[in-house]
Amino acid sequence: MTGRRHRGGGPYPDRLITYEEEPVRSMLGDKRAIAVFIGPALIVYTLVMIVPLIWSAGYTFFDGSVIGGFNFTGLDNYKQLLGDDAFWASTWFTVKYGIAVTVGQVGFGLLLALLYTFYLKRASALVRTLVFFPVVLPTVAVAAMFTKLFAVAPQPGLINSIASVLGMSGDRDWFGDSGSAFIVLVVMDVWRSMGFYAVLLYAGLVDIPDDIIEGARLDGARGWRLVRHIILPMLTPILLSSVIFSINGTLKVFDSIMALTGGGPGDTTSPLTLYMYKTAFSFGDYGYGSTIAMQLTLLSLLVTLVIFRFSRKDQTR
């Protein structure tokens, strides 16, 4: 019995697949075929990701630069990390930003998906396309637009103009303090990507058989209750994927912050990636830069594991 069962791998370890027939098992266990299927991907991936990753991990024990040469310093970089205010500030910013944007992207994505499914129904194709559109735009264009929208000088941007029409202060310098600059950043990245997550979640929603939803409605489930007790549980796997992609993307944010605030004012909107990039390439301290990047990788790993653990618990309940 146990020989006929095996646990599925990686992202979906809960699933048990059983193969009843012996020839099927041997067919699926064909070593040569497995090598052909996975070989190319594994080779490219190992050479271009794993080897450089380990290589860079090695740099975390060294001090020096790519030109002057490196000296082995043991754990000095890690010790320096503990007392580095800028590192902790960047870490805090990264986490804060990751959570805010992920909640925004997936949350609005879900709302949009519900809108497409239950309100727009068949008419939703055009709206879906339009909401997806920002994904196509280069970062530099999006950032330029948000800079202008939230500008106060040389011309008040749209947001400040609307604010003054509504009787509020129309000369707010949105990029002048860390709090409001953070808000603009989050709004921008949510706006950019919510369409993508909406489409992803919409796919999951459409996939829920109509009779289940109709049945639940007949049982008196409406509105929020329908969403909470029927739709969300059925969407859990795809929501989980969405959250994992979103958080891993946002923890590694670089382009949009570079283009919109450059990490400013001061270093108050500087994520770990930017701090790492500057340390390694502007300040010429590659070892310490790698150490920072390593923490970001570990942070992503930790967050992903927490999400997995959390979702597992949720499902067994």
Partner 1 sequence: MKLRSVAIAAAAMLALAACSSGTDDTAASGPLQVKYYSVQQPTEGWPLVFGKLTDDYAKTKPGTTLKVEVAPQADLDQKLQLLASQNNLPTIFNAPNSNELLQQMYNSGQILDLEATLKELGVFDKLNPAAVELVKKTQGGKLLGLPLELNIEGVWYNKKLFADNGITAPTTWEELSAAAAALQAKGVQPFAASGQQGWPLTRLLGNYLFRTVGPNALQDVKDGKAKLTDPQYVAAAQAVADLGTKGYFGKGVGTLDYATAQDLFLQGKAAMFYMGSWAVRDFGNQQTNKIGADNIGFLPFPTVAGGTGTADQTPMNAGLTTVVSKKGYNAEVGAWLKYIVEHYGDRALSEIGLVSGFTANPPADASALTKGVVTQIGATKQPLLWFEALFPTKATDTATKNVTRLVTGDMSPADYMNTLQKAIDQG
Partner 2 sequence: MSTPTAVRHAHETAPVTPTLRHRPKNRLGRQLRRMPLRAAVALLLLIEIYPLVWLILSSLKQEDEFSLKPVWALPEGFDWANYSEAWTTGHMSTYLRNSLLATVPSLAAIIVFGVAAGFALQVMVWRGRGAVLLVFLAGVMVPLQMVLLPLFTIYFKAQLINSLWSLIITYTAFGLPLTVFLMAGYFRAIPPEVLEASFLDGAGIFRTFAVVVLPMVRNAILTIALVQFFFIWNDLLLSLTFISDDNLRTVQTGLLNFVGQYGQRQWGPTFASICLTVVPTLLLYLALNQKVMKGLTAGSVKG
Count of residues of this chain found to bind partner 2 when the rule CB under 8 A is applied: 126
Residue 98: how many CA atoms within 13 Å on its side-chain side?
25
Residue among 107, 176, 215, 233 that touches partner 1 (CB under 8 A):
176
Q: Indicate whether 277 belongs to the interface with partner 1 (CB under 8 A).
A: yes
Token representation of residue 258: 């570079």
User: Which is nearer to partner 2, 6 or 63 (by Cβ)?
Assistant: 6
Residue among 155, 166, 169, 282 that touches partner 2 (CB under 8 A):
155
Residue 267 near residue 276, CB atoms below 8 Å: no
User: Which DSSP category does 122 fall into?
Assistant: G
Q: Indicate whether 233 belongs to the interface with partner 2 (CB under 8 A).
A: yes
Residue among 98, 109, 204, 263 that touches partner 1 (CB under 8 A):
263
Residue 118 burial class via C-beta count within 10 angstroms: exposed 0-12, middle 13-18, buried 19 and up: middle
Site string for partner 1, 224-253 (x = CB under 8 A): ------------------------------
H/E stretch holding 109 reads helix 85-115
Q: Indicate whether 175 belongs to the interface with partner 1 (CB under 8 A).
A: yes
Q: Indicate whether 34 belongs to the interface with partner 2 (CB under 8 A).
A: yes
Q: Indicate whether 147 belongs to the interface with partner 1 (CB under 8 A).
A: yes
Residues 6+ apart with CB under 8 A from 61: 72, 73, 74, 75, 77, 287
Q: Indicate whether 312 belongs to the interface with partner 2 (CB under 8 A).
A: no
Residue among 79, 214, 306, 309 that touches partner 2 (CB under 8 A):
214
Residue among 154, 167, 209, 220 that touches partner 1 (CB under 8 A):
154
What are the phi and psi torsion angles at 69 (to 5°)? 100, 160
Residue 274 near residue 261, CB atoms below 8 Å: no
Least distance in Å: CB of 92 to partner 2? 17
Q: Indicate whether 266 belongs to the interface with partner 1 (CB under 8 A).
A: yes
- Considering only residues 33 through 92, tell me which ones interact with partner 1, judged by CB under 8 A: 33, 36-37, 39-40, 43-44, 65-68
Q: Indicate whether 289 belongs to the interface with partner 1 (CB under 8 A).
A: no
In angstroms, the CA 295 to CA 94 distance is 12
Residues 6+ apart with CB under 8 A from 251: 94, 95, 98, 271, 272, 296, 299, 300, 303
Q: Indicate whether 74 belongs to the interface with partner 2 (CB under 8 A).
A: no
Residue 150 near residue 157, CB atoms below 8 Å: yes
Least distance in Å: CB of 45 to partner 2? 5
Q: Which residues bind partner 1 (CB under 8 A)?
A: 33, 36-37, 39-40, 43-44, 65-68, 147, 151-154, 171, 173, 175-177, 262-267, 277-278, 281-284
